[in-house]
């Protein structure tokens, strides 16, 4: 593939996702490979014994699929931010256009019978009308955009709406307190954050802070606890004015507790002692600030870009996996040896994460990637579905 054709393919794909995503694509041009023919591509993917992967749908003519959800009938909802579209797939993989002309729609969730879609600067609601939804209506407005602009929206088991607002930069002190946070709203769109207020002070929406880029989160099916992925900062060093270290900082897999600060921009988990937080020697903040922040529940490979997260309790995957979770690693752009471009299985014991292992690999061949998994979800049929915004495919993982 020529540089001109690659830029044409990817610059348009990521234009709406902000300048950081564009720069990432430009930097990693040498790491992107042509998509192989489907049978050859699937043969490169390595799965646990007894499982197979297939291409469920090719959406490349529609756009670049990102986040996934299910409607009440179990049909797959897919966002395509680069084209401003949301589509629906039935079990025959037939495509139905749900909405278009949106501002980089990313997260998607059902709120009762209505549909919520996260745009770059807010949440819109599509009211249910028969078997379809109506035109988008503003619902939650004026969220910060630019920088890491993709937003995910989900509805918790107790009916609250959660939205990530990521950082505007790599490492900085944000002037907007809504940046690098996870927000919570009531079902009618009112702020319902962790800090209770009295008198004339309006309720805020901030649920947790210090989250540089948390695009993936899900509730544990048994405990109701909220877990989330987070992408760490780029080009960091373990020493003052030192060279960037490819293995710093590790990515975080967090148990979200309301009101907690999760480290960014000053701290990350010590790779040798994950329960301890390491202070960035080149962006230090206050003395001992890292003793005041929340360490991750688990770490993942540095710059692997964990995004989508789903639990396996209600899947048809092997019984030995059903207490665990799957995380999609979208892949690195900023290290000499690429990382990510894979699915990671997070092993849980007594409802808490204890380890992570590769679940599917093969999108990365040597140091060149032909696919980039984004989101994961258990379908109505009990199998695992995966979106890939590089190939434009939706995969399905099931028993052989």
Query: How many residues can be counted in the chain?
Result: 400
Assess contact for 139 and 125: CB atoms under 8 A. Answer: yes
**How would residue 333 be classed by pLDDT, with cut points 50, 70 and 90?**
confident
Map tokens 């380890």 to a residue: 355
Sign of CA dihedral 187, 190, 196, 200: negative
Average pLDDT over residues 352-366: 97
How far is the C-alpha of 374 from the C-alpha of 382, rounded, in Å? 19
DSSP secondary structure string, 191-207? B--SS---TTPPPP-EE
Cβ atoms within 10 Å, residue 303: 26
The H-assigned helical ranges of 50-194 are none
Q: Quote the pLDDT of residue 315.
A: 98
Domain ranges across the chain: 3-399
C-beta neighbour count of 264 within 10 angstroms = 29
- What sections of the chain are H helices per DSSP? 3-14, 19-27, 38-43
The tokens for 369 are 């990637």
| Strand bridging mode 298-300 / 85-89 | unpaired
**Beta carbons within 8 Å of 269's beta carbon, 6+ residues apart:** 249, 250, 252, 263, 275, 276, 277, 278, 295, 296, 299
pLDDT of residue 334: 84
* % of the chain exceeding 70 in pLDDT: 91
What is the C-alpha separation between 254 and 163, in angstroms, rounded?
A: 16
pTM score above 0.75:
yes
Any residues with CB less than 8 A from the CB of 261 and at least 6 apart, and which? 208, 209, 210, 292, 293, 294
Q: What's the longest Cα–Cα distance across the chain?
A: 64
Using one digit for the tens of pLDDT, what is the confidence trace for 2-32? 333 333 334 333 333 333 343 333 334 457 8
Nearest of 268, 258, 272, 332 to residue 296 by alpha carbon:
268
| Cβ atoms < 10 Å from Cβ of 359 | 24
pLDDT in tens, 82-104: 999 999 999 999 999 999 999 99
pLDDT value, residue 200: 67
Tell me which fold the domain 3-399 belongs to: Neuraminidase (2.120.10)
Structure token digits, residue 187: 């079902």
How sure is the predictor about 199, in pLDDT bands with cuts at 50, 70 and 90? low
Using one digit for the tens of pLDDT, what is the confidence trace for 106-133? 999 999 999 999 999 999 999 999 888 9
Looking at residue 273, its pLDDT comes to: 87
């Amino acid at each position: 593939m020529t540089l001109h054709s690659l830029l044409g393919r990817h610059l348009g794909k990521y234009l709406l996702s902000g300048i950081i995503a564009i720069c990432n694509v430009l930097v990693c041009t040498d790491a992107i490979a042509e998509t192989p023919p489907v049978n050859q591509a699937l043969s490169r993917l390595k799965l646990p014994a007894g499982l197979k992967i297939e291409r469920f749908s090719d959406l490349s003519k529609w756009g670049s699929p990102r986040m996934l959800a299910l409607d009440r009938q179990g049909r797959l909802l897919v966002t395509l931010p680069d084209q401003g579209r949301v589509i629906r797939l039935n079990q025959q993989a037939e495509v139905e256009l749900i909405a278009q002309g949106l501002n980089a729609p990313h997260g998607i969730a059902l709120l009762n019978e209505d549909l919520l879609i996260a745009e770059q600067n807010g949440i819109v609601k599509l009211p249910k009308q028969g078997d379809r939804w109506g035109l988008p209506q503003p619902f939650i407005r004026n969220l910060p955009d630019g920088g890491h602009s993709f937003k995910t929206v989900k509805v918790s088991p107790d009916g609250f709406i959660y939205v990530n607002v990521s950082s505007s930069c790599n490492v900085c002190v944000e002037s907007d307190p809504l940046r690098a946070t996870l927000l919570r709203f009531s079902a009618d769109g009112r702020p319902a954050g962790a800090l209770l207020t009295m008198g004339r002070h309006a309720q805020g929406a901030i649920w947790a802070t210090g989250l540089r880029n948390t695009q993936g989160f899900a509730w544990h099916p048994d405990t109701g606890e909220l877990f989330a992925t987070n992408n760490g900062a780029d080009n960091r060093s373990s020493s003052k004015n030192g060279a960037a270290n490819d293995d710093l900082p590790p990515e975080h897999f967090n148990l979200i507790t309301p009101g907690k600060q999760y480290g960014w921009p000053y701290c990350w988990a010590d790779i040798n002692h994950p329960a301890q937080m390491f202070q960035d020697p080149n962006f230090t903040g206050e003395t001992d600030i890292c003793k005041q922040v929340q360490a991750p529940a688990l770490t993942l490979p540095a710059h692997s870009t964990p995004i989508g997260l789903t639990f396996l309790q209600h899947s048809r995957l092997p019984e030995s996996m059903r207490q665990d979770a799957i995380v999609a690693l979208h892949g690195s752009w900023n290290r000499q040896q690429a990382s990510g471009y894979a699915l990671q299985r997070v092993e849980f014991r007594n409802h808490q994460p204890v380890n992570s292992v590769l679940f599917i690999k093969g999108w990365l061949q040597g140091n060149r990637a032909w696919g980039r998994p984004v989101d994961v979800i258990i379908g109505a049929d009990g199998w695992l579905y995966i979106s890939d915004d590089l190939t434009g495919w939706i995969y399905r993982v099931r028993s052989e």
